[in-house]
Structure 1
Amino acid sequence: MIRLDNLTKVFDTPKGAVIAADHISMEVPAGEICILLGPSGCGKTTTLKMVNRIIRPTSGKVFLDGEDTTGMDTQDLRRSIGYVIQQIGLFPNMTIEENITVVPKLLGWDKARYKERAREMMAMIALEPDAFLKRYPSELSGGQQQRIGVARALAADPPLMLMDEPFGAIDPINRAVIQDEFLKMQQELNKTIMFVSHDIDEAIKMGDRIAVFREGKLVQYSTPDDLLAAPKNSFVESFLGEDRALKRLNLVKVREIVSDEIGSVRPDDTLETARQRIEDFGYQNAILMVNDKHQPVGIITHAVARTTKGFCRDHFQGIPALVNLDDDLRKVASLMFAHDITWLPCVDDDGRVCGQITQRAITRHLGSRYRALQGDVPPNNDSSGDDSLIDTVAKE
């Protein structure tokens, strides 16, 4: 959807020429979010603004959906691109409805259509139309204004959006909420987005691809996982931080490494049955107890199964935590550390047990990815042979 071909910008200053963007070439596929990342003054915002010609390139070309924009009328170009900035940029003398409908009006939409579009956009950003459309920007919180800025950029349904640190001025809690809402919208809208950020965690969370800039040059352009697993040079490595392996936990879902090899017992099974299954499955400490719907209800420790008579329903302990298939590994690791355990049961959206995840499976997955990118071995998600234990709850 977006292709930059040797895009260059040189600013003339009293001290001489300054190269802000140096022969930037990259492509952003349709429907993806590309994050431009780097320290202040590295050229990422300059590159973004050359796409809609807020800054005119010194040389090079911008192609949108295969069309060279060099000869396009500047106003037509900008009206075809949604634009969101950190300062939001709402017109203070206009109502929220008037702000949202600015571009549709310029494009000649009739009144009924653009008014209905304003209501649609308010619903999309989770703000009540009747409560907000007639208000002015000064009557809204910073987070609400930022949502309106996104709604205005989307109002004319542009295929392409440019976003210049759109959530940077919002407090961390509201920023996380708005990021999540925006990603949900993107799943439905499928826009092509170029997004400037200086926040590594935001880039990893939001981006399908990340472009790292330094001193006007594009240093590395990769998927978040490839970037974290195989930084191109020492600058990228230091910029990402020493905890880049931990950052990768955000990118991997439980479903990618879950193992379906998990034993279980029912409440009416005897403790002798539990002991046999613990030993059959190689568990040294515990086995999961499930109900008739295969939902987890507790665990039976090996110590209890080995030394006590009776039924599982009378001797089970609580489950420290559960994870869903769509949870990321950061949540899994957090739960394991919090409860001092190395194994967690995984459930689907109906709460049914569908497998297990272990610390060893996590470390094996991360390690195999590093080795694969370095050309040593292919990625291996096999979690067989893991220590499937619930250590803490089984201690006596």
Structure 2
Amino acid sequence: MIQLDSLTKVFDTPKGAVVAADHISMEVSAGEICILLGPSGCGKTTTLKMINRIIRPTSGKVYIDGEDTTGMNTQELRRNIGYVIQQIGLFPNMTIEENITVVPKLLGWDRAHYKERAREMMAMIALEPDAFLKRYPSELSGGQQQRIGVARALAADPPVMLMDEPFGAIDPINRAVIQDEFLKMQQELNKTIMFVSHDIDEAIKMGDRIAVFREGKLVQYSTPDDLLAAPKNAFVESFLGEDRALKRLNLVKVREIVSDDIGTVTPGDTLEKALAKIDDFGYQNSILMINDQRQPAGIITRSVARTTKGYCRDHFQNIPATVNLEDDLRKVASLMFAHDTTWLPCVDDEGRVCGQITQRAMTRHLGSRFRAREGDIREANATTGE
């Protein structure tokens, strides 16, 4: 959907020519989010702005859906590309409805169509249309204004969106909420997005592919998993940080490593039976008790089962936590540390037990993926001479 071919920008300064973007070549497939990542002044924002010609390239070409944009009318080009910036850029003298419908009006939409579109966009960003459409930007919080900025960029349903640190000025709590909402929207909208960020965690969470820049050059262009598993050079490795292996926890879902081999007891089982089942799972010091609907009902510990007589229903402890199949391993690790446990039961969307996840399985999975991915990429680099 987006192709950059040797895109270059040279700025003339009193001290001489400065190369801000140096022969950038890359492709972003339809429906993907590509994150441009790197330190300040590395060329990522310059590259983004050359796509919609806010900055005119010195040389090179931009193709959108296979069409060379060089000869396109600038205003027409921009109307077909959604643009969101960190400063939001809402028009303060316009209502929220007027802000959202700016581009649809320019494109000649009839009044009923663009007003209905404004309501659709408000619903999509989880803001009540009747409560917000007639307000002005100054009457909204920063997080709400940022959502309106996204809605305005999406209003005319552009196939391509450019986002320049769109959530950078928002506090961490609201930032995480808006990121999650945006990813949910993307599953439905399937836009092609180029997204500038300086936040590694945001890039890993949001991106299908990540482009790392340094001093105007594109250093590495990879999936988040490949980037973390096998940085191309020392700069990328240092930029990602020493905890890059831990960052990969965000990329793995529980469903990828859940084991359905989980021992359970019922409230009517004896503690003697519970102890026998715990011994069958020698690396665990407790076993899960489930009810008739196969929902978690409690935990029977080894110490209780060994020293007490009676039934499970009378001697269980509360379950410290459960995880869902769609949770990532970062959440799992956090829960394990918080509750001092090496395993957690996994439940489906109906709350029924479908397996367990263990600390050992997490360590083994991450280690094997890390070594395999690193080996594959080194072999590929050796083949290409990089």
Give the TM-score normalised by structure 2: 0.95
Taking the aligned partners of 1:343 and 1:73, their CA distance within structure 2 comes to 59
Residues 115-194 of structure 1 aligned to structure 2 (within 5 Å): 115-194=115-194
Would the aligned equivalents of 2:229 and 2:374 in 1 still touch at CA under 8 Å? no
Amino acid at match of 2:295: Q
2:288 counterpart SS class: strand
Residue in structure 2 matched with residue 384 of structure 1 by the alignment: none
Distance (Å, rounded) in 2 between the aligned partners of 1:335 and 1:128:
34
Partner of 2:60: 60
Partner in structure 2 of residue 309 of structure 1: 309
Note the C-alpha offset of 1:376.
Answer: 7.6
Per-residue deviation at 1:360? 1.2
SS in 2 for 1:375: helix
- 1:264-303 mapped onto 2 (5 Å cutoff): 264-283=264-283, 285-303=285-303
1:332 aligns with 2:332: yes
Partner in structure 1 of residue 43 of structure 2: 43
Q: What is the rounded CA distance, in whole Å, between the counterparts of 1:308 and 1:302 in structure 2?
A: 10
Q: What residue number does 2:224 align with?
A: 224
Q: In the TM superposition, what is the alpha-carbon distance from 1:53 to its structure 2 partner?
A: 0.9
Cα distance in 2 for residues equivalent to 1:41 and 1:181:
29
**1:283 Cα offset (Å):** 4.9
Aligned to 1:104: 104
CA distance in 2, matches of 1:204, 1:281: 35
- SS of aligned partner of 2:375: coil
SS at match of 1:355: strand
Q: 1:33: how far off?
A: 0.6
TM-superposition CA deviations, 1:174-201 (whole Å, max 9, x none): 1111111111111111111000011111
What is the TM-score with the length of structure 1 in the denominator?
0.92
Residue range with higher mean Cα deviation, 283-292 or 118-127: 283-292
Report the residue type matching 2:259 in the other structure: S
Q: Is the 8 A contact 2:49 2:55 kept in 1?
A: yes
CA positional deviation for 1:107: 0.5
Aligned CA RMSD, in angstroms, stands at 1.4
Q: Are the equivalent residues in 1 in contact too, given 2:85–2:164 (CA < 8 A)? A: yes
1:76 alignment partner in structure 2? 76
Deviation per CA, 1:153-193: give whole Å up to 9, x if none. Answer: 00000011000011111111211111111111111111110
The equivalent of 2:380 in structure 1 is none
Aligned counterparts of 2:5 and 2:244: Cα–Cα separation in 1: 31
Q: CA deviation at 1:137?
A: 1.4
Partner residue of 1:255? 255
Secondary structure of 1:361's counterpart equals helix
Distance apart, 1:208 and its partner CA: 0.9
Match of 2:173, as an amino acid? I
Deviations 1:302-324 (A, max 9, x none): 23333333222122222221111
Give, in angstroms, the shift of residue 366 of structure 1: 1.4
Amino acid at match of 2:127: L
Give secondary structure in 2 for the equivalent of 1:62.
Answer: strand
Match of 1:16 in 2: 16
Counterparts of 2:291 and 2:147 in 1: how far apart (Å)? Answer: 44
**CA-to-aligned-CA distance 1:56-113 (integer Å, 9 cap, x gap):** 1111111111111111111111100000011111111211111111100110101111
SS at match of 1:326: coil
- Whole-Å separation in 1 of the counterparts to 2:284 and 2:123: 53
Gaps of 5+ in 1: 378-396
**Partner amino acid, structure 2, of 1:236:** V
Q: Name the stretch that deviates more: 39-48 or 289-298.
A: 289-298
SS of equivalent to 1:94: coil
Structure 2 unaligned regions, length at least 5: 378-386
> Residue type of the partner of 1:140?
L
Aligned 8 A contact 2:275 2:305 in 1: yes
2:354 — aligned with what? 354
Match of 1:195?
195
- The answer on 1:369 being equivalent to 2:369 is yes
Look up the SS of the partner of 2:303 in the other structure.
helix
261-270 or 296-305, which moves further after superposition?
Answer: 296-305
Aligned residue type for 1:127: L
| 193-202 or 135-144, which deviates more | 135-144
Change over 3 Å in CA distance of 1:369–1:270 after alignment to 2: same
For residues 307 and 200 of structure 2, what CA distance do their matches in structure 1 show?
52
Report the CA distance shift for 1:38/1:284 in structure 2 as closer, same or farther (over 3 A): closer
The one-letter code matched in structure 2 to 1:88 is I
Q: CA deviation at 1:277?
A: 2.0
Partner in structure 2 of residue 240 of structure 1: 240
> For residues 103 and 263 of structure 2, what CA distance do their matches in structure 1 show?
59
Measure the CA separation in 2 of the matches of 1:344 and 1:350.
17
